[in-house]
Amino acid sequence: MKLQNALDEFILDADARGHAESTICWYQQRIARLIRFLTERDISEVESVSTSDLRAFVADLRAQSTRWADHPYHPQDSDSGLSPHTIHGYVRITRRFFRWMADEGMIETNPAARLKLPHLPKEPPKAISSIDLDRLLEAAEPDPRDYAIVCFLADTGCRVGGLVGVRLSELDLDNGSAIVREKGRGGWKSRTVYFNSRTRSALLRWLEVRPESDADAVFLSKAQNGPLTTCGVYQLLKRLARKAGVEGRFNPHAFRHAWAREALRNGADLGTVSQLLGHEDETVTIRFYARWANDELQERHGQFSPLAGNPDR
């Protein structure tokens, strides 16, 4: 069977399972790059791929990697270099693709079974700083829509896909909650997020001036008067960051990281934070959100050490 035919079947299966369109696109782009690499090595049949071929692909990716620089957005792949996280993603989807082919009976043995995931470098926390958040709120305040968006992101910890998908019919201002639809394992899932009185006031202010629209979305695009897109959220945050002089992280997911870190810093237990973030497993919360810089660890050590506050003990 040709590799390209296997990819087509894999994408069809992912679509049938309800995987998000963005996830399917991510699968397709990365596996297509693997297929191009193997084709250049005169390998086009799935049965002909060996573990050595896959390791050569990873080595080729590493050869194109560059030193990773912090940036408020996730940089896209380019010929100038790939980040360690991007390479990690390529290996993950390669392993998944060949495991799927083995499960489907397309190959007898899985050459990716012995392909190891590369280690990821330790990185500083990915949250927007409290100072930068205040600056963004101040910059957004004159515009009811933008201010409500920043408040909603900061207060609920939702993903950007959940934000743009909030519907008027599922926004409960009386109880300070909303239903969001976010990407999870197996596709998009619905969950409830909560917000406080400040965000409620911001939402009321926006809804008072929200233009009439056929769309049920809470947040509208100013250009098209239809539902706001994730790209639109990135653009408005970029504009606000420029206006506020913010140079640190300000992408939508940075708000989610900030919410989790602030909740943990204020004493929330890991289980509660995990549930409020919509994680199915607490290990995800630990791995990506319960992370601290060295100075923060020192501060927390001073707070929680059994000898804290008692130098003579």
CA distance 211 to 222: 9
Equal fold, 3-103 vs 130-292: no
**pLDDT above 60 for 7:** yes
* CA-wise closest residue to 97 among 187, 4, 50, 31: 31
Q: Output the CA torsion sign for 22, 24, 25, 26.
A: positive
| Banded pLDDT at 256 (limits 50, 70, 90) | confident
The share of the chain scoring above pLDDT 90, in percent, equals 56
pLDDT, position 63: 85
Topology of domain 130-292 in CATH is hpI Integrase; Chain A (1.10.443)
**Between 18 and 26, residue with greater pLDDT:** 26
Segment 288-313 shows an average pLDDT of 63
pLDDT, position 77: 38
Amino acid at 257: H
| Banded pLDDT at 5 (limits 50, 70, 90) | very high
pTM listed for this prediction: 0.62
Among 118-127, 140-149, 173-182, 216-225, whose mean pLDDT is lowest? 118-127
Cβ neighbours, 10 Å, residue 295:
8
Task: Assign 265 to helix, strand or coil.
Answer: helix
**pLDDT above 70 for 293:** no
Q: Which CATH number fits domain 3-103: 1.10.150, 2.40.160, 1.10.1760, 1.10.10?
A: 1.10.150
| Banded pLDDT at 206 (limits 50, 70, 90) | very high
Residues 69-117 have pLDDT tens digits of 434 333 333 334 677 888 999 999 999 999 999 999 999 999 999 999 9
Tokens found for residue 156 = 């609920």
| Banded pLDDT at 263 (limits 50, 70, 90) | confident
CA distance 46 to 12: 17
Q: What are the structural domain ranges in the chain? A: 3-103, 130-292
